[in-house]
Amino acid sequence: LSQAQVDLARGHDGTGKYLSCSPATLRWIAERKPGSLDALMRAPGMGAGHADRFGPAFLKLLQDQ
C-alpha cells in the first residue's frame, strides 16, 4: 500500500497533482482490508477525493494478497 500510495501521490496516475494518505490511514486500511470503496471511505482521512484517487489501486492490492 505504501509504494502504491507514493506512486499515485506523485501524480503518476496522470493528474500531475500531489496527494497522499497519512500513515494512520494506510495502517487502518492494511489492518481492516476493506473490500469496497464505501468501506474504504470509513478510514480516517479517506474522503471522496482520496478514495477516487487511491481506492481502485488499494482495493486491487488488497484483493491480490
Question: Which residue's entry shows cell 501524480?
Answer: 11
pTM of this structure: 0.73
Residues 9-22 pLDDT 10s? 666 555 555 567 88
Contacts 24+ apart (CB under 8 A), 33-39: 33/62, 33/65, 34/59, 34/62, 35/59, 35/62, 35/63
What is residue 60's predicted lDDT score, i.e. its pLDDT? 93
Task: Give the CATH class of 2-64.
Answer: mainly alpha
Q: Which three cell numbers stand for residue 29?
A: 486500511
Domain boundaries, the chain: 2-64
Residues 36-64 pLDDT 10s? 999 999 999 999 988 988 899 899 999 99
